[in-house]
Amino acid sequence: MRTARGTTRKDPLARLLTGLAALLGLAVLGVLCPSVALAQAEARATPGVRAAGLHISDGRLLEGNGNDFVMRGVNHAHTWYPGETQSLADVKALGANSVRVVLSDGHRWTENSPADVANVVTQCKANRLICVLEVHDTTGYGEEAAAGTLDHAADYWIGLKDVLAGEEDYVIINIGNEPWGNTDPAGWTDPTIAAVKKLRGAGFEHTIMVDAPNWGQDWQNVMRTNARSVYDADTTGNLIFSIHMYSVYDTAQEITDYLNAFVDAGLPLLIGEFGGPADQWGDPDEDTMMATAQRLDLGYLAWSWSGNTDPILDLAIGFDPDRLSSWGERIFHGANGIAQTSKEATVFGGTNPGDTQAPSAPGTPTASSVTATSAALTWTAATDNVGVTGYDVVRVDGGSETKAAASTTNSVTVTGLTADTAYTFAVYARDAAGNRSARSATVSVTTGSAPAGKCSVGYRASGEWPGGFQGEIVIRNTGTTAISGWTLAFTFADGQTVSNMWGGTPTQTGGKVSVTPASYTSTIPAAGSVTLGFIAAKGSKNTAPTAFTLNGSACTTT
């Protein structure tokens, strides 16, 4: 089981040094101009050098057939959860086109065998996912005493050569995860070059990915400054850099400066890990990360599908694709998210780069199982010349639309509705090339009245730390009939702010918090209860809420 996410944030002294480090990085980066990059790339492009599969050209990741490929996917902790291979099918069903798979070379955790790695690659291909394989044992080398070296990781990959040979169309080798800590990060450059050369000397033709030092976040700009020398050390030019963005990247300027520096230099880059929920180190600006990646056509891989010791970064709760956290909803269904921007690799034959034909309009949705806060919608599936990959359900209000839900099938349950309210819904279909259908006809729904059942609420802070705490809320149905669909409301008195919740979806304005249920907590049986957990920021005080309402009715407190 993972004991730490493997990403150390800057301490206060480090944050003071960041500005100076950035200035030094920009000064050295002046040599990384596009004209120099192009000249050096042309010098390497000697006759007889062939792209075996996924490869880099002019700073872009291309498939073997020359089509541009932009990764939109997630990280999956396979080495700690080897039985959760169903996760690959689950992330694909939610729209991902790639997955970064955590492996171990045996230095720190149990080594993943050649047979196990071969099965992972087979499962990735079966689910039409590009597979980024990474060794995690290198995390934080130089600062983390248990970490292994890049050289040891390179030897592990060489031991897998028979498994990986011939998979260049489908597999990217990420030599080692976050292979240097914050202690003397300048030591990252030479071992990285040596590991790349070792793999090329062993005959690997795959795209190689290298992670940054500073626990992947490169806040001292070592990778940014030395990227050209590392790239030039790979005589095939088939190398891509990976930056991990967590709370070091809490402003739009930091994010755009870093990503643009590589693009302007003609050097390939993706966001190999990133997080969004706030923590005690800061609040990452995931909206800018995702928007900038989309604008620059850079890949991103969110951390992580499930299984974190601290569940704040779990995209799915308990590996259940039907129980996405608020972080998971953001990644898969939010603006610039996976469902909206992912395109399947053409090597799987599912996407025609010239596909401009939109799917047909879905059938008129019909509503069923309407409660006070939810409604189930079903419609006749759309058709497409290549294939429909998903549907977007929108709420229609006059001439405007608001996205209400997304689905990979022709049905969905829309939640978070208000009791005794009229809604109008319609559906769009989309294909893998990003073509969107005409809108379906609309259906009108009026939600039911709020149940008058009795309730009680138990609230406690289960753990606190400077600037934050973890809370638990138990909602009990003290009535004699089940409550189907609910909205819990309460108010924080001391400026507490919820950043992540499991069991429900919070909406907060000032101190007022409104919570709607997850699918698995939407029904509270008679004499039964459901439990919510959350992470929140706080100041010097953390007074518990004193009053709660469920569907507008006051609850007793316990």
Output Rg (C-alpha) for the chain, integer angstroms: 25
Mean pLDDT of 463-483: 91
Please say if the pLDDT value at position 400 is more than 70. yes
Would the CA dihedral through 286, 289, 295, 297 be positive or negative? negative
- Separation of alpha carbons 276 and 98, rounded Å: 20
According to the per-residue pLDDT averaged within each range, which of 13-17, 95-99, 400-404 is highest?
95-99
At 448 the pLDDT is 81
Q: Contact 194/224 with Cβ under 8 angstroms?
A: no
Mind listing the pLDDT tens digit for each residue in 200-254? 999 999 999 999 999 999 999 999 999 999 999 999 999 999 999 999 999 999 9
More confident residue, 278 or 146: 146
Question: Which structure tokens are listed for 31?
Answer: 């040599």
CA angle (413, 419, 420) in 5-degree steps: 115
Q: Torsion angle, CA of 119/122/127/131, rounded to 10 degrees? A: 90
Which residue stretches of 311-390 are H helix? 326-333, 338-341
Q: Which residue has the tokens 């169903």?
A: 86
- Separation of alpha carbons 126 and 146, rounded Å: 35
- Separation of alpha carbons 274 and 478, rounded Å: 42
DSSP helix/strand/coil, 108:
coil
Mind listing the pLDDT tens digit for each residue in 117-143? 999 999 999 899 999 999 999 999 999
Furthest C-alpha separation in the chain = 79
Which residue stretches of 408-554 are H helix? none
Kind and range of the H or E element at 496? none
| Confidence band of 557 (pLDDT split at 50, 70, 90) | confident
With CA atoms as reference, report the closest residue to 162 among 123, 198, 203, 122: 203
C-alpha distances in Å from residue 169, one per residue of 52, 92, 164, 235, 388: 7, 18, 10, 19, 24
Mean residue pLDDT across the chain: 87
Cis amide prior to 304 (ω within 30 degrees): yes
Strand extents, DSSP E, 41-192: 55-57, 60-62, 72-76, 98-103, 130-135, 171-174
Kind and range of the H or E element at 165? none
**Single-letter amino acid code for the residue at 306:** S
- Separation of alpha carbons 374 and 368, rounded Å: 10
Please say if the pLDDT value at position 193 is more than 60. yes
Q: Contact 427/385 with Cβ under 8 angstroms?
A: no
* Cα atoms found within 13 Å of the Cα of residue 320, Cβ hemisphere only: 11
Mind listing the pLDDT tens digit for each residue in 313-364? 999 999 999 889 999 999 999 999 999 999 999 998 754 456 678 899 999 9
Cβ atoms within 10 Å, residue 341: 18
DSSP state, residue 109: S
- Separation of alpha carbons 210 and 192, rounded Å: 7
The answer for residues whose C-beta is within 8 angstroms of residue 276's C-beta and 6 or more apart is 284, 286, 327, 330, 331
Q: Which residue has the tokens 């990452």?
A: 284
Q: Contact 63/347 with Cβ under 8 angstroms?
A: yes
At 148 the pLDDT is 97
More confident residue, 365 or 358: 365
**Single-letter amino acid code for the residue at 271:** I
With CA atoms as reference, report the closest residue to 299 among 73, 88, 75: 73
State the catalytic residue, choosing from 144, 168, 205, 273. Answer: 273
C-alpha distances in Å from residue 149, one per residue of 107, 146, 186, 216, 327: 9, 10, 15, 15, 32
Which domains does the chain possess? 64-348 (3.20.20.80), 364-446 (2.60.40.10), 455-557 (2.60.40.290)
286 included as an active-site residue = no
Altogether, the residues listed in the chain come to a count of 558
| Confidence band of 430 (pLDDT split at 50, 70, 90) | confident
State the catalytic residue, choosing from 63, 178, 205, 286. Answer: 178
178 included as an active-site residue = yes
